[in-house]
Amino acid sequence: MNNLKCGAIIVAAGKGKRMGGNILKQYISIDGIPILARTLLCFQNSKSIDNIVVVTGKNEIDFCEKEIIEKFNITKVSYVIEGGEERQESVFKGLSVLDKNTDIVLVHDGVRPFVKEKYIDKIITDTSKFGSCVLGVRIKDTIKICDNENIVESTPKREYLWAAQTPQAFQYNLIMKAHKKAVEDNFIGTDDSMLVERIGYKVKITEGDYDNIKITTSEDLIFGEAIVKKLNKA
């Protein structure tokens, strides 16, 4: 992609408390393939991605290397490292080991296994122009802003509302600057783009699609199975 060197950080260090059960959600299978393997294969198969860093739990590193990366022949992974207490710390650790010659870095949830290659390409193109981008979709529902007693205070215009997904993509130097500033200020954001916003940079939304779901609860597994069936028929 225009000779840009692009790396991906796949964050898979979550404990999956909302899922329940004894298996971490990133290792649960959908149609016979673990969620994390599906996610990594999206980036492995993308011609735009040069290398991948996986951030996972300390006790899962060996399992991830043997049962996911080796088993599914994911050759672009350069590091599998231990994550931090917070997702933000995990991403920063991933950035710190990523090839310093990287032009654009994509940060992606390990449990979003259905991101399509065309959207990986699209967000890289947008990031090369705008510096930082977030894959997202337009909100379908009407949103209400409420007070502490659940009394509606306002109803924002739906046409201005987007649901943020991942990957979020950034010029490498910019996202490193944003993360270092957050560490310096002891600031924890809800996503990486928020760190970029707080140091004065604009973030562009790159429109994706509704298949790019995050597997968070057991109900999401049902949606995941349905997406696999749909994609297999396509």
| Per-residue pLDDT tens digits for 180-193 | 999 999 999 999 99
The H or E element that residue 218 is part of is helix 218-233
- pLDDT at position 15 is 64
* 232 Cα distance to chain centroid: 23
Q: Find out whether 55 and 78 touch, Cβ atoms under 8 Å.
A: no
- Please report, as a single letter, which amino acid is at residue 51: N
| pTM (two decimals) | 0.94
Q: Assign 34 to helix, strand or coil.
A: strand
- pLDDT at position 24 is 83
Lookup result for tokens 């201005």: 160
Lookup result for tokens 């006790």: 59
- Residue 18 pLDDT class (50, 70, 90 cuts): very low
Length of the chain counted residue by residue: 234
Longest dimension (CA), the chain: 53
Q: Name the more confident of 13 and 169.
A: 169
- Locate the domains of the chain by residue range: 6-233
What single string gives the DSSP state of each residue in 96-158? HHS-TT-SEEEEEETT-TT--HHHHHHHHHHHHHHSEEEEEEE--SPP-EE-TT--EEE---G
| DSSP bridge pairs for 81 | 55
108-124 tens-digit pLDDT? 999 999 999 999 999 99
Radius of gyration in angstroms for the set of CA atoms belonging to the chain, rounded to a whole number = 18
The H or E element that residue 43 is part of is helix 35-44
For the domain 6-233, what is the CATH superfamily, name and number? Spore Coat Polysaccharide Biosynthesis Protein SpsA; Chain A (3.90.550.10)
